[in-house]
Structure 1
Amino acid sequence: MQYTFEQADLIIVGAGLSGLLTAWFRLIEHPAERILILEAGPKAAGNHTWSFNSSDIDAHWLQRLQPFIVHHWPGYSVRFPRYSRRLPISYATGNSESLLAAVRPLVQAGSLSVRTGSPAVLVEPTAVELADGTRLTAKAVLDARGGRPPSSMLIGHQKFVGHRVRTRQPHGLVEPLLMDATVEQRDGFRFIYCLPYTDTELLIEDTCYSENSALNENEFAERIAEYAHNNAWEILAVLHREKGVLPINVAQARPALGSRPSEAPRIGLAAGFFHPTTGYSLPDAVRLAARIAKLPHLTRDALFRSVSAYAREKWQRERFYRWLNRMLFSAAEPAHRYRVLEHFYALGVGPIQRFYAGDLSLADKLRLLSGRPPVPVWRALQVINERKFLRRQKCRSSAPVDVPGNVNPHLGKETD
């Protein structure tokens, strides 16, 4: 993927999920255009697995996404101390290799070029300057480089280590185990996530919702081995390893517009375009890519307006989610955080689907708040006002810590 255009219609800086999806969908709608993607690293698409509920994606674009999907299941289950439940919600997954395979026909057709080993030092609305001094121009530029979420966000962390393993005997899972919260609670809210690929091959992922981003890979690996042992899964080989620290949006002072008009619009993680509670990035990447694909004319101004409008809508739509996250991180005792999710997964299938899709109705929100509250009411009320919460957190921290995600080091249970 090293063919380079002298001048492209669109330059995308960053060959991750958002950058590649945006190029793919734009060229589906406008096959005559030429798009150049610049990637600083040696490999496009990274080393990732992306999963999602099928109902998260508009039916038209879900159909377009089929070449990316490598596994699909008609439902999944969750386990909590009080109950276990199967949910008939279609679930799918893709990975870095399938994403590259999906865009490869565009490269072969000559409409897309992905240039690796090309770090950008300046990203402007219509030009990119590379570290070697090369300057490239286009009608429009998108900044899809990964990195910290916007500074307007106060975040917690979802950190994980996943091992794709082969077992000696069939493991017995026929559908994903999306959340097993019956395990020992450590470092905040902890659960195990499992994806069965074949009878003897599955992904086992140990996940924690934590205030800090520190990730001890060896410790997580030991816990994965312990979980496999407790389920009588004898591991013959670890076929693949992955790890990550995803941001969870706890509070946000203003929309993450991604850039000023003098800069190229940002998309992806650095723009805050991920599910605020789960950290899932694929549904947002698909929605924004579809919006950009539908632009009749690709100009710097049209691109900026489209991305900015998406950021404003997302900020407004997700206020309730951010309050739920504050309850999870700042109102619940760490050992009892699982109760927030335990309460949520007891809802009907419709509200759960709409929650993941970022489209909760007022009735859904009322259902979520009904019944026995998962945290003390007085603590939930303490964190309901987002602006006051942000001011309190700012007062508690004199300076940000230089860790991924620009996390506030004093994010924790509200007691005042």
Structure 2
Amino acid sequence: MNESRQNPAPDSAAPDTAAPHDVIIVGGGLAGGLIALALHRHAPDCRFQLVEAGRTLGGHHRWSWFATDTRPAAQGLMSGFALNGWDEGYDITFPRLGRTLPTSYRSLASAEFHRALTAELPADRVLLETRAAQLDAGGVTLADGTRVAARRVIDCRPFRSSNHLAGGWQVFLGQQFRCETPHGLTRPVIMDASVDQIAPHGNGAAYRFVYVLPLSPTEVFIEDTYYADQPKMDAEVLKGRVAEYAHRNGWKGEVVDQEAGILPVISGGNFAAAQAEIAIPGVALAGARGGFSHPLTSYTLPFAADNALAIAQAIAARPDLSGHELAAFCARRAKRHWRATAYYRMLSRMLFEAAEPDKRVVVFEHFYALRGQLVERFYAGRSTWPDRLRILTGKPPVTIPRAIRALFSSGKPLDTKPLKMETPA
């Protein structure tokens, strides 16, 4: 998708009340696709258009979340997708800790996301391989010069880094193996941090773990993940480490799929200034671009589902809602989300600034020793005040002076250089 900021059209490009579309959604990733689905189901009179630059909706990703992360209405929105699910709990492994926690886990592959959406949404509502060159309050100008007018425009293009934000990066590469014999796993392994903590060449300090999903008795997804200071990936090194992990567990077979990514882990910054850099007057911002993610885990699906429903309900309740009003509605939700997740950004600063690089694993080990329901609420972004105090009490995994400095720090500026893949994945 086009990642560059588009200059808004002159003020004269006001929304056209006779426009052929009530809503244009630019970006058919997770956020944009779920907004289209929610409009189709909950605002059936809304004439919307979903514009995606790629060949498929959702790109090439796998989204995963705990069942307790999503509220009942969001679970209903997701009910049309064929999900991988595990109700036997999940495992975590650290150098000095191994546990099985009881929370159910869910995962959605982008291929299924595309299949289900294109099966349910009317064919004329989805434009694939169509790049948006310019967005404004009155519609979208496509790369071929075609003008598509709309009363409301929603920008769901990918996250863009900013000098106004602070934090680090989650770097990952995952491969799906088709094993020659059953792999024997019945539960996901959300974090196996018993692996060595040596970062790939050129990636700086990192906390490393392996993430494993048993997709079928003979198919397993293995992902090597780092919390890194720089947005760099040496894909060949990560592929080698995934292969090494499979070999160590006796899993022989062929690689049938692969995905890789670099996600921001936000620890602080000036959110209003960062949004001002990309905001277009009268255009609503949603998805990770709009700031809707978990600052520490980078999970997005629960927030994307909640936002999709909120947007659809707002439009259904007020068919005359203007584009500027919708943009303000989404901006208010983003500000509330930023305030509500301040605690998790502070924990991100603890990870990146208070913990010595080779001791970052101890921060997570300390956390996973706590009660299971506390862990559930943490991932859902709904930690209670007693939860927050409990996470910070006990024998500290970092030194007190470094913790205090991190507590009052504004965070390390987020690297805004282009994300770098050392070897194409």
Normalising to structure 2: TM-score of the pair? 0.87
Is it true that 1:198 corresponds to 2:216 in the alignment?
yes
Where does structure 2 lack aligned partners over 5 or more consecutive residues? 1-18, 200-205, 421-425
Q: Which residue pairs with 1:49 in the alignment? A: 62
1:382 and 2:394 are equivalent in the alignment: no
Larger CA deviation: 365-374 vs 26-35: 26-35
Candidates 266, 289, 298, aligned match of 1:249:
266
Question: 2:362: which partner in 1?
Answer: 339
Report the Cα offset of residue 175 of structure 1: 0.7
Hey, what's the Cα distance between the residues in 2 that align with 1:151 and 1:63? 38
Q: What is residue 278 of structure 1 aligned with on the other side?
A: 297
36, 51, 62: which one aligns with 1:23: 36
Q: Is residue 156–residue 210 contact of structure 1 (8 Å, CA) maintained in 2?
A: yes
Match of 1:413 in 2: none
Matched, 1:207 2:225: yes
Report the counterpart of residue 79 of structure 1 in structure 2: 93
Partner of 2:337: 314
Alignment of 1:2-401 (within 5 A): 7-74=20-87, 75-108=89-122, 113-187=125-199, 188-234=206-252, 236-255=253-272, 257=275, 260=279, 262-295=281-314, 296-297=317-318, 298-386=321-409, 389-390=410-411, 393=412, 401=416
Give 1:70 deviation, angstroms.
Answer: 1.9
Counterpart in the other structure of 1:414:
none
Bigger drift between 118-127 and 262-271 goes to: 262-271
What amino acid is the match of 2:419?
A: P
Q: Which moved more, 1:369-378 or 1:97-106?
A: 97-106
Query: 1:342, 1:382 → 2: CA distance?
Result: 22
Q: Per-residue deviation at 1:337?
A: 0.4
Secondary structure of the residue aligned to 1:198 is: coil
Letter in 1 for 2:353: S
In structure 2, give the amino acid aligned to 1:99.
F
In 2, Cα distance between equivalents of 1:378 and 1:349:
29
CA contact (8 A) 2:40 2:121 kept: no
Q: Which runs of 5+ in 1 are unaligned?
A: 1-5, 406-416
Superimposed CA distance per residue, residues 15-65 of structure 1 (whole angstroms, 9 cap, x where no aligned partner): 111100011012211112121011122332211110001111111220231
Distance of 2:390 and 2:251 partners within structure 1: 38
State the AA in 2 paired with 1:351.
Answer: L
Query: Does the residue aligned with 1:286 lie in a helix, a strand or coil?
Result: helix
**Structure 1 contact 149–270 (Cα < 8 Å) conserved:** no
Q: CA deviation at 1:120?
A: 1.4
Structure 1 letter corresponding to 2:186: V
Q: 2:153 aligns to what SS in structure 1? A: strand
State the SS of the aligned residue for 1:262: coil
The AA in structure 1 aligned to 2:383 is L
**Cα offset, 1:401, TM superposition:** 4.7
Q: 1:198 to 1:105 in 2, by over 3 A?
A: closer
| Root mean square deviation of aligned Cα | 1.9
Q: Partner letter of residue 384 of structure 2?
A: S
Q: Is the 8 A contact 1:144 1:267 kept in 2?
A: yes
User: Is the 2:279–2:285 contact (alpha carbons within 8 Å) kept by the matching residues of 1?
Assistant: no
CA contact (8 A) 2:138 2:151 kept: yes
Check 1:48–1:260 CA distance in 2 against 1; reply closer, same or farther (3 A cut).
closer
- 1:158/1:299 CA distance change after superposition, 3 Å: same
Stretches (4+) displaced over 6 A: none
Aligned-pair distance for 1:166? 1.2
Distance 1:385 1:175 in 2: 39
246 and 122 in structure 1: CA distance in 2 versus 1, 3 angstrom threshold: same
Rounded Cα–Cα distance in structure 1 between residues aligned with 2:379 and 2:399: 25
- Cα distance, 1:105 vs. partner? 3.9
Report the residue type matching 1:85 in the other structure. Answer: R
Please give the alpha-carbon distance, in whole angstroms, between the structure 2 residues aligned to 1:251 and 1:383: 11
**TM-score normalized with structure 1 length:** 0.89
Task: Provide Cα deviations, 1:161-201, integer angstroms capped at 9, x if missing partner.
Answer: 10000112221110100000000002210000000011111
Match of 1:404 in 2: 419
Separation in structure 2 between the aligned mates of residue 113 and residue 26 of structure 1, nearest angstrom:
11
Deviates more, 1:52-61 or 1:201-210: 52-61
Paired with 1:27 and 1:40, the residues of 2 have a C-alpha distance of 21
Question: Residue 65 of structure 1 aligns to a residue in which SS?
Answer: helix
2:83 alignment partner, SS class: strand
Residue 9 of structure 2 corresponds to which residue in structure 1?
none
d(CA) in 2 for partners of 1:194 and 1:121? 39
The structure, 1 or 2, with the larger RCO (C-alpha pairs under 8 Å, 6+ apart) is 2
